[in-house]
Amino acid sequence: MHIEEYSNTIRAWRFCPMCNHVCPVIKVTKNEANGPRGLALSLFLVSEKMRQFDEPRVERIYQCTTSGICEAWSLGGYDLSGMVLAARADVVDQGKAPTSAVTARKNIEETGNPFGESKQVRSGLAAELIKEAGSKKRAEVLYFIGCTTAYRRPEIAKASVKILQKAGVSFMVLEDEPCCGAPLYELGFREDAKREARNLSQTIEKSGCNYVVTSCPHCYRALTEWYPQLGVQLPSGVKVKHTADYFNSLVKDRRISLSKRTEVVTYHDPCYLGRFGKIFDQPRELIRQVSGSNFKEMKWNREKALCCGAGGGMSFTNPRIAAQIEGTLIGEASKSGSEILITACPLCSDNLASSREKLKFQDISQFLADSLAS
């Protein structure tokens, strides 16, 4: 079983309640079965063959955002979110994945996106972006849109392309962009994720690009961390960058300049970009270029930033809990006195958009595109 690799983590945490307080799911459900101790104990019982992956147990395993916030608060480098992802892979191997996860997988297989929406939506957006990019077949940069951006937050892609254009970057967009496989990995479908990874890797190779730039931390994590784990290598020499990182280098190289703005803003570190990607400084440097001292940190930031609730496949499997978690983030952002909450993940933006709480939010690409000096 995949969870055998995590036996140290399971043993260390099966009786320890110390990180329950930061678990975004427990904050909503109050159910101890959702926290690090509850999950580790549950998996211990399964690994000792005292329990099976029955439906409620599987449900709890999928009620985790894999935000890694529990790891940020803990000591000793235990990989609790890795443990949960491994458990999901075991659940899938036993054919016990929840219906919502199976639907997302089927959607990717049939439509190339987990939402099950028409490929034409994505290709239409791609065509629009390609027109802006100048219809190149080869370019220095491949801007990878990603499923959530394409189907839920296309304005992020449009803003990103506007910045690339302004900087005079030679870039291209795929006409028929596939899923990167991140949702499959997060939901436990590792073989399917591997298939998507191979497919995208080959597509990148054919493109001849030197950089893959994406606005999505989930795509970014898949390409940089999970592909190698799955035994899929990107073409030699190709670097993967998140837009926050890449745009910051464009500013440093003076390829774009930004004008000052007066709104008070704050920044939310997306879990996969910050805690897992360690990209904390670059988005802040960018925002400070625009907002200076009007940039206010939230109380919990960087390694200990709150989770928006949408990660780890929660937007597919547990949208109601995801939306409730997101309310906590908006509350924190409001306390900072900010007028705009900036994030750098389409899943965060999508979840924020679904909230009943009203706070203006923007992806960092939108914020920068609106701040480009003429």
Partner 1 sequence: MNQNKYLHDMIDSELEDIVGPDGVSDKEVDIDAHMTDMWYIPRVHIDRGFEASKPEFIAYPRNTDEVSRIVKVANRFRVPIVPRGGGAGDTGGALAPYGGIIVDVKKLEKLLRIDETSLTVAVQTGILQVDLEDLLSEKGYTLGHFPASFYCSTLGGFLANRGSGVLSTLYGKIDRMVLSLELVLPTGEIVRTPPVPDHSTGPDLNSLFLGTEGTLGIITEATLKLQYVPEVRRFTAFLFDDLHRALEAGRKIMLKRLRPCVIRVYDEQDTREWVKKVLGFERSGSYIIVGFDGPKEMVELQERLAKRIIEEEKGEDLGTKWGQQWWDHRYDFYFPPHFLESTPYMHGVIDTVSTFSNIEKIYREMKKAVEGEFAKWDISFMGHFSHWYDYGAILYPLFIVKDPPRDPDEASKLYNDIFNIGVRVALANGGLVNEHHGIGLKLSRFMPEQYGLGFDILKKIKRVLDPNNIMNPGKLGFGGF
Pick 38 or 346: Cβ nearer partner 1: 38
Rg of the Cα atoms in the chain = 20
Question: Least distance to partner 1 from the beta carbon of 346, Å?
Answer: 29
The residue among 15 and 206 lying less far from partner 1, judged by its C-beta, is 15
Q: Which residues bind partner 1 (CB under 8 A)?
A: 11-21, 29-33, 35, 37-38, 41-42, 44-45, 48, 50-51, 54, 56-57, 59-60, 73-76, 78, 335
| C-beta of 282 vs 301, nearer to partner 1 | 301
CB 81 within 8 A of CB 64: yes
> Whole-number minimum distance, CB 361 to partner 1, in Å?
23
Q: CB-wise, 80 or 344, nearer to partner 1? A: 80
CB 92 to partner 1: min, Å: 18
What is the smallest separation between the CB atom of 306 and partner 1, expressed in angstroms? 13
Q: Which is nearer to partner 1, 71 or 177 (CB)?
A: 71
Residue with smaller CB distance to partner 1, 40 or 290 = 40
Q: What angle is formed at CA 189 by the lines to CA 184 and CA 190, rounded to 5 degrees? A: 100
